[in-house]
Amino acid sequence: MFDWFRPINRYLVFPLYYWKNGDKRLARLNELEQSQYLPQGKLEQLQLSRLQKIVRYAYDNTIYYRRIMEKNKLHPDQIKTLKDIEKLPILTKQLIQENTDTMISSKYNRSELIKDSSGGSTGEPTVYYKNIERHNLRRADQIRHDRWTGWDIGKRKALIWGAQRDLKAVQNFRENLLATYLDRQWELDAFEMSDKEMEGFTRQLEKLQPSMILGYANALELYAKYLLEHQPNHGIKIEGIVSSAETLTEEKRATIEKAFNCKVLNRYGSREVGLIASECPSQNGLHINAENVLVEIVDNNGNAIDEGNGDILVTDYWNFGMPLIRYKLGDVGTVSDKKCDCGRTLPLLGGVAGRTGDFFVNQEGGKIHGEYFTHLFYDLPQVKQFQMIQETIELVTLKIVETTQQSDKSYLDNIVAKTKAMLGNEVDVHTEFVEQIHPTSTGKLLFTISKVNT
C-alpha cells in the first residue's frame, strides 16, 4: 500500500517542525551532504579550524584544560596541524569522573546543559554534559549516515534496541507521537527476545515495512537466526540494516544479510560523542564522521600508530558545554589507509575490534579477544546460549543454556581444554547450567565479559 504520509512528512511535517523550533539540523544536513565529498586537503582544513576552535575555547573557558595545558607548557596557538593535538594528554573516564566540575565551561550554567552518563557493563558510569545546540546539530550526522542504507527522511525506521532510557522509560505521550509522526521510528525491545517475541517482531515489521532497521549486532544476529530457522519466507522488505553498539563480526554480518536479504552496514558510536564512524554500501571500512569528531588510534604510550590495532581517542568539535578532547573511549580500532570507491573522502577506520573489556587476560598479561572463546561454541547443537566471564586471572565462569537438557556433558571438555590452552592450565573453569542469560542494563547480550583490567 502506498505510504501517503511519507511525502507529507518529508516535505512538510519534518522541515516545518524543526524550522518552528529554530533547529538547524536540515541546513546542517545539506552542508554535511556536500562536505563528505570535499577534496582531502579541504576536509583537513575544515577539521583543523574546528579543532583549533574547540582547543582554544577549552583553554579560555574551562579550569581543567587551562590547567593541563599550562602544566604541559602548551598554548592553543601551537595547534597548527591535526597532529599537534598529540601534545595534549589523553582524557580517560577516570579523569572525567575526578574533574567533572572543572571541565564544564564557565559560559554555561549546569542547568542549561544536558546531563547524561555512559558505561555500565564494566566499571562505574561516567557522567558528562553537553550543550543543547550540539545535541541538535549532531542529529544531522545521524541522518546523513542513515541515508547510506537507502533510508531517507519520511521513510519508516525500526529499532531493535534495548537502552530503555533511550526508548520506553523516558517516552511520554508527546515523545511517542513525535517518534511515530515526526521521526517515523518504531522500536522493538531487545530486552525481550524469546521465540514468541521474535514472532511478534516479524508480524510488526511485515505490517510496518520500514526502510531500515538499526540494532545491536547481537540482537540482530539472534533475530536473524530465528528468521532463518522458523520464518525463512517472511515478508520483511528492507533497504538496509545498521548494526551498532556491539562488535559486528563477518560471521554475524553474513547471517543477518542472509536472513534479511540486504546489506548490513557497521556503525560505531558512543553515548558521549555520538556517531563516530559508519560504513557506506561499499563496505570498505567505516567512514569517520570527520566534520564532527577527530579520531586518533594510539598505542599503549599514547603515540599514533600507522597500522594494526590501537586505542581509539576522540575529540568532539561541538561540545562547548563540556569539551572532550582526546577522550579514550575504551575501544580498540584498526587503522586504515584505504580510499573508498564510493567517492566520499571521509577517512576510513579499518574496523572496531571491540571494547577493551572484550579482551581476556592470560597469566603472562597477554590479551585474547573474546571472539576466540565464541568460536569454541560453533557447531555445538547442545548449546543454545552461552556466556563466558573472566572473573579473575585464575577463574572463569561459563554459563550455558542447553538446547535440551543433556545427560552427557563431555561436549564441554574441548571448550575447557581450549580455554586453558589460552589462559593457562591453572585457570579454573567453573560451569553453571542456567535457564536464561540476561542482557546487561543497556540491553546488550554479551557472550564474553572480562572483569580483569587490561
Question: Where do contacts with Zn ion occur on this chain (CB under 5 A)?
Answer: 280, 282, 340, 342, 344
C-beta of 267 vs 344, nearer to Zn ion? 344
C-beta of 119 vs 347, nearer to Zn ion? 347
C-beta of 110 vs 338, nearer to Zn ion? 338
For the chain, the farthest-separated pair of C-alpha atoms sits apart, in whole angstroms, at: 71
Q: What distance in Å separates the CA atoms of residue 83 and residue 400, rounded to the nearest whole number? A: 47
C-beta of 179 vs 342, nearer to Zn ion? 342
**Quick check: helix, strand or coil at residue 283?**
coil
Min CB(287)–Zn ion separation in Å: 6
Q: What distance in Å separates the CA atoms of residue 409 and residue 173, rounded to the nearest whole number? A: 51
C-beta of 149 vs 387, nearer to Zn ion? 149
For 246, phi then psi, to 5°, come to -135, 160
Pairing of strands 274-279, 263-270: antiparallel
Place of cell 515495512: 209
Min CB(259)–Zn ion separation in Å: 24
Check: CB of residue 383 under 8 Å from CB of residue 412: no
Q: Residue 264 belongs to what H/E stretch?
A: strand 263-270
C-alpha 208, offset from chain centre: 25
C-beta of 165 vs 338, nearer to Zn ion? 338
Alpha helices (runs of H) in 178-296, residue ranges in sequence order: 195-208, 217-230, 250-260
C-beta of 220 vs 280, nearer to Zn ion? 280
Q: What distance in Å separates the CA atoms of residue 130 and residue 270, rounded to the nearest whole number? A: 14
Nearest to 11 by CA among 129, 120, 154: 154
Place of cell 582524557: 91
Check: CB of residue 376 under 8 Å from CB of residue 419: yes
